[in-house]
Structure 1
Amino acid sequence: MESILEQLKPVIGLFGQSPYMKAAVILLLSLLAAKLVGLFVNRGIRKLTQHTKTSLDDQLITLLHRPLFWTVVLLGMLLAAAVAELSPTLLTATRAAIISLLLFWWMLFGLRASRVILSSFSRHGDATSLVRPQTLPLFTNLVAIIIIALGVYFIFQAWDVDMTAWLASAGIAGIAIGFAAKDTLANLFSGVFILADSPYKIGDYVVIDNTVRGMVTHIGIRSTRLLTRDDVEVTIPNSVMGNSKVINESGGPHEKYRIRIRVSVAYGSDIDQVCALMQAIGEEEPQVCSDPVPRVRFRSFGDSGLVVDLMAWVEKPELRGKVSHELNCTIYKRFMAEGIEIPYMKQDLYIKSLPDTPWQEHNG
């Protein structure tokens, strides 16, 4: 600050020795310098950013114009206050007010710039990126809280306000809130980890601990919602989701889902005919994927028949019930037409002898 004043003394001295006149000259010079900086940003830097492929730099330059302008003006006001020969108390208050305005402008720029940057990252990110449309509100609010907290801290520092007591009170309050809302905080942190780790996404079919199965319709900070096949919406806290075994039926290299049709045929059946017939049924079903092709496997010798599996793939997990129904109906009809017996459990009761009754004893 002192070196800048020394360099400006020859120019300021041309307008007299009045401190108020010197302050007014410095203010005018700062306004002129702010205009020049604005022209440089608009016509110089903006031309360079127009040749880039992304629009992020153009948005940041637009946001940067006003903070730079007011930074130059406020620095000029600081210089003007230094040469205006104000009283020490008034000079201290003026400096604190100007620094507070300066911090406010850059805090506002940080909030807007972080929102633009995070939005750009979320648009261009993939499924494994940390910042995605689902996690964008979380990171936007988190960065905003950090910027505002830092801005408020430095503004208090500019006014020589001791923040030790405030920070201690905030720490005690944080501990109390943590104990009082531990379940809510557990859901919050689990939601953050779920959004960051992405074990599932909206539209996936998941099974939770082999008990609840449904399509993910919403992933929030507190809970995850599933829509079951009965059209019943189930809301599960994220802390439960984070500690449960989640089977993502839509995950893997593709969304296709394999169904298994298990059939038992009577001993003595032509196993080659059975396998060929089930293979043909799987390939003829229009809702069964042709890639991978359906497969038939002779699994085991059962108690009452030969166990054969037809394994086929469907495009989406929600089709498994409908396609299984179609395949079961077709297999039953074709087996009946071909005379292939589907065994079922039968019990034969043999009576070796009847006990003596009072009537038999009387007639005997």
Structure 2
Amino acid sequence: MNNTGAETEPTTPSDTPTEPIADRLPDIIDWLPESLKPGWQLLDQVPILAGLAIVVFFFVAAVVIRSLLIRFLQRLSSETETPVDNILVDCLRKPLFTTIMYFGVALGITASQLPFATEALVNLCISVIIASWMRSTFLASTRILKTLGDVHDRFPVVEPRTVPLLDLSIKLVILLLGSYALLVVWGINPIGWLASAGIVGIAVGFAAKDTLSNVFSGFFILIDAPYKVGDYVNLDTGERGCVTHIGLRSTRLLSREDIEITLPNAVIANAKIVNESGGNKPHIRIAVAVGAAYGSDVDQVCDILQQIGEQHPEIAADPAPRVRMRKFGASSLDFELLGWILKPEDRGRIKHELLMSIYKQFRAQGIEIPYAKSDLYIKELPPIGGTSSPGE
């Protein structure tokens, strides 16, 4: 009795045999030589071996591609004068290998048909790729900005004073983009995180308003650049010294007593700053006031002062020192010796040396340096002998 009328049981997806890897890649099998086809058939039956084969293949491909591509890019970068392309090629080496290698690992995990954590392992591989590019971009941005800062005459926007600000801004952008990509990879909705971060940010802003004020002041100081590292500044609050460090939160000064002073940027942003190292030229001017007695040869006085200024080793030759007669004083002819020096902190010592030389030369040439004199006039002397006046 034939069971032609018997109903055939429907097949479920679990009953359907898995399509072999070789059937999904028929072209690759056709390209393989006859000696390798038995090995491929073995991989077709054991998914773990197929996954390992894919990983090994991509590892070899990563080594070969990195070697050939980096060598080609280095050859191209050697023909240019800028060092930026050399930095980019050097920073491209690790993420290029990591991308190819871990992409192969992700494919191998998928082909291995693991019974557990396949999706998590694949996401982990992609996360490693993203982290590798973030790290390399961090390093590349720092090195490129430092290089451009050293040649800021060609790139006026990138200067040593703006490098920290630009470096921080670029790293923040990279961190935000990389974090967004990682959240998307792991299936996390970033909008909810951003909303939560906004609420937390408001609370943190109220709690750390002084710190944020210093940070924002640091941004404006770096942008406005009222001073730079190495400048000698005076503040209306009384602090003075050489700027040794400019940070986002504070600025450090080294005083003449070799004491380091750390000032919050919010204080400096609201203070009057006298930058003695500013201006169009690197030199600063010192003025030595000198008085000569009335009757002195003014030409001789000017020649002596000019010679003293020109002979001092730390007085700049360009601009040259000069002598000016300023006024007719109450008891002297007032002159000024003007000279230019490089370091503001040397002003006191150089002025001392100039005054010592001026006194010695004036004394040798017989030029009097006036000083306060008092003449006493006696209108009437008392009688000699103690004679008393009539009527006593």
* TM class by smaller structure: 0.7 to 0.9
TM-score (norm 2): 0.69
TM-score (norm 1): 0.74
Counterpart code for 1:279: Q
- Determine the structure 2 residue equivalent to 1:10: 26
- Determine the structure 2 residue equivalent to 1:37: 65
Residue 142 of structure 1 and its aligned partner are, at CA, apart by 4.7
User: 123-132 or 185-194: which moved more?
Assistant: 123-132
- Determine the structure 1 residue equivalent to 2:253: 226
* Deviation readout 1:147-194 (Å, 9 max, x if unpaired): 333223222222222223321221222222222222222322333443
- Determine the structure 2 residue equivalent to 1:357: none
Residue 285 of structure 1 and its aligned partner are, at CA, apart by 4.2
- Determine the structure 1 residue equivalent to 2:333: 306
User: 191-200 or 288-297: which moved more?
Assistant: 191-200
Residue 299 of structure 1 and its aligned partner are, at CA, apart by 1.5
Pick closer, same or farther for the CA change 1:12–1:193 going to 2, 3 Å: same
Counterpart code for 2:89: I
Counterpart code for 2:358: I
Partners of 1:151 and 1:77 lie apart in 2 by 21
Is 1:185 the equivalent of 2:201? no
- Determine the structure 1 residue equivalent to 2:285: 258
* Deviation readout 1:315-340 (Å, 9 max, x if unpaired): 43333222322332333344445554
* Deviation readout 1:171-230 (Å, 9 max, x if unpaired): 222222222222222322333443455443333322223844322333333333333334
Aligned residue among 141, 157, 173 for 2:200: 173
Partners of 1:19 and 1:137 lie apart in 2 by 58
Counterpart code for 1:24: A
Is 1:64 the equivalent of 2:92? yes
SS in 2 for 1:235: strand
Counterpart code for 2:27: V
SS in 1 for 2:323: strand
Counterpart code for 1:220: G
Counterpart code for 1:10: P
Is 1:117 the equivalent of 2:133? no
User: 27-36 or 225-234: which moved more?
Assistant: 27-36
Q: Which structure: larger Rg?
A: 2
Structure 1, unaligned runs of 5 or more: 354-359
Residue 298 of structure 1 and its aligned partner are, at CA, apart by 2.0
SS in 2 for 1:296: strand
Partners of 2:328 and 2:353 lie apart in 1 by 26
Counterpart code for 1:291: D
User: 117-126 or 306-315: which moved more?
Assistant: 117-126
SS in 1 for 2:316: coil
* Deviation readout 1:89-126 (Å, 9 max, x if unpaired): 97765654443344233333333433443343345446
Counterpart code for 1:177: V
Percent same amino acid at aligned positions? 44
Partners of 2:132 and 2:308 lie apart in 1 by 71
- Determine the structure 2 residue equivalent to 1:243: 270
Partners of 2:346 and 2:164 lie apart in 1 by 34
Is 1:27 the equivalent of 2:27? no
SS in 2 for 1:60: helix
- Determine the structure 2 residue equivalent to 1:146: 173
Counterpart code for 2:173: I
Pick closer, same or farther for the CA change 1:253–1:141 going to 2, 3 Å: closer
**Contact between 1:23 and 1:79, CA under 8 Å: does it hold in 2?**
no
Partners of 2:75 and 2:314 lie apart in 1 by 56
**Contact between 1:257 and 1:320, CA under 8 Å: does it hold in 2?**
no
Pick closer, same or farther for the CA change 1:20–1:138 going to 2, 3 Å: farther
Partners of 1:333 and 1:36 lie apart in 2 by 80
User: 17-26 or 136-145: which moved more?
Assistant: 17-26
**Contact between 2:237 and 2:271, CA under 8 Å: does it hold in 1?**
no
Counterpart code for 2:278: G
Counterpart code for 2:353: E
Aligned residue among 33, 41, 48 for 2:76: 48
Aligned residue among 326, 349, 353 for 1:326: 353
Partners of 2:108 and 2:360 lie apart in 1 by 97
Pick closer, same or farther for the CA change 1:223–1:352 going to 2, 3 Å: farther
Partners of 1:65 and 1:313 lie apart in 2 by 52
Pick closer, same or farther for the CA change 1:102–1:282 going to 2, 3 Å: closer
Residue 68 of structure 1 and its aligned partner are, at CA, apart by 3.1
User: 177-186 or 102-111: which moved more?
Assistant: 102-111
Please give the residue correspondences for 1:69-88 in structure 2 after superposition, counting only pairs within 5 Å: 69-75=97-103
Pick closer, same or farther for the CA change 1:310–1:47 going to 2, 3 Å: closer
What is the aligned length? 352
Is 1:282 the equivalent of 2:309? yes
User: 121-130 or 331-340: which moved more?
Assistant: 121-130
Counterpart code for 1:37: I
Structure 2, unaligned runs of 5 or more: 1-20, 31-39, 381-387
Residue 243 of structure 1 and its aligned partner are, at CA, apart by 2.9
**Contact between 1:266 and 1:343, CA under 8 Å: does it hold in 2?**
yes
